[in-house]
Amino acid sequence: MSVSSKIKAPIATEMKEFERYFKKQLNSKIPLLTIITNYLLRRKGKQMRPILVFLSARLNGEITEASYTAAGLIELLHTATLIHDDVVDETYQRRGFFSINALWRSKIAVLVGDYFLSVGLISALQTKQIGVLEVVSNAVKEMSEGELLQIEKSRQLNITEEVYYDVIRMKTATLIAACTKAGAYSVNASDEKLDKMQQFGTYLGMAFQIRDDLLDYEKSNLAGKPTGNDLKEKKITLPLIYVLDQMTGSDRRKVLRTIKRHHKIERKIAPIQQMVKEKGGIEYARQKMTEFRDKALDILKSYPESETRQALEELVYFTTSRKV
């Protein structure tokens, strides 16, 4: 599912200009780097993060050169983290394309990720966008902490609903909040509006990640069975957390023991996925996702009606109804 033209409409010109701006930032005299960069540019995703930066900027003022710097920095950072994630997770495909580590090996992938990050930092410093750099640097710090917290909890298998919200806020929502706050910052929005846009991005990011976790229970493999990729990695997400909280101590221990010892065996985890569906885990997670979605929409309603506000509202609904 692609981002609709209605969402992009208020910033169509800026997004077209951003593609040229982004490509220019990645110019290099190293032939190998040029080949890899062009490969990445050809398979760009929905560009949700630059879209959020520009829409947030327009909602709070007139888009400036600083808005391009903010969008570029965040897109470079996001791309770098995806490249590094593929190396860490030993993932060889992303969005139906081979990952960088699959085509050019892990060492090159890590170096390319580092290059993207450094290009973003340099652009922010050269244009003296220190405030934007601070917003994004804080997001990187929190993203790393969130990922490490999730790894720690997947080892211990003792994640609670409260800790789950901490994890998804840090590893996912914080970058989306950086988009919305940086967009507002780039047009010199007031402190009140900066806080408002950061909160909006946080709620949107929380809803986005819960939708992602729900998709893991909805996606099917070639045999028509749920993929269960999160459970295979011992990631316990909201649908299962809810069901575990309803169980007796012995039944809960039995489920956790199965995940700990047999998480890579599909026939062992399939009954757990089925149990989550039957015991209301999916419905509960959807309800929580909707609550975060509605909080994000409430913040938008504090702004005057406009094409930009409508586009952001559309983006919120898109985020919580997407199939991929």
Taking the domains of the chain in order of start, what are their residue ranges?
5-321
Percent residues over pLDDT 90 in the chain: 43
Q: What mean pLDDT comes out for the span 235-260?
A: 89
Q: What mean pLDDT comes out for the span 62-75?
A: 91
158 exposed, middle or buried (CB, 10 Å; 0-12, 13-18, 19+)? Answer: exposed
pLDDT the model gives residue 220? 57
pLDDT the model gives residue 151? 84
pLDDT digits (tens, 9 = 90+) for 176-228: 999 999 999 999 999 999 999 999 999 999 999 999 999 988 865 433 445 56
DSSP reduced 3-state for 98: strand
Q: Which pLDDT band holds residue 22 (cuts at 50, 70, 90)?
A: confident
Q: What mean pLDDT comes out for the span 131-135?
A: 86
pLDDT digits (tens, 9 = 90+) for 28-65: 888 888 888 888 888 777 788 999 999 999 999 999 99
pLDDT digits (tens, 9 = 90+) for 92-130: 777 677 878 888 888 888 888 888 888 888 888 888 888
pLDDT the model gives residue 318? 93
According to DSSP, the residues that pair with 94 across neighbouring strands are: 97
Q: What mean pLDDT comes out for the span 256-273?
A: 85
pLDDT the model gives residue 221? 46
CA distance 77 to 46: 15
What letter would DSSP give residue 149? H
pLDDT the model gives residue 228? 62
> Above 80 in pLDDT, residue 142?
yes
Class of the CATH-defined domain 5-321: mainly alpha
pLDDT the model gives residue 3? 64
Tokens 């575990």 label which residue? 244
| Helix ranges (DSSP H) in the chain | 5-8, 12-25, 31-42, 48-60, 65-88, 100-126, 130-156, 161-168, 174-185, 191-218, 229-232, 238-245, 249-262, 266-278, 281-300, 307-321
- Given a contact cutoff of 8 angstroms between Cβ atoms, the answer to whether 187 and 131 are in contact is no
pLDDT the model gives residue 163? 92
Count of residues in the chain:
324
pLDDT the model gives residue 187? 94
Smallest Cα–Cα separation from 159: which of 233, 237, 251, 243?
A: 237
Global pTM?
A: 0.89
3-state secondary structure 50-71: HHHHHHHHHHHCCCCHHHHHHH
pLDDT the model gives residue 68? 93
Least reliable range by pLDDT among 2-11, 17-26, 285-294? 2-11
> Above 80 in pLDDT, residue 253?
yes
More confident residue, 127 or 173: 173
CA 102 to the chain's CA centroid: 22
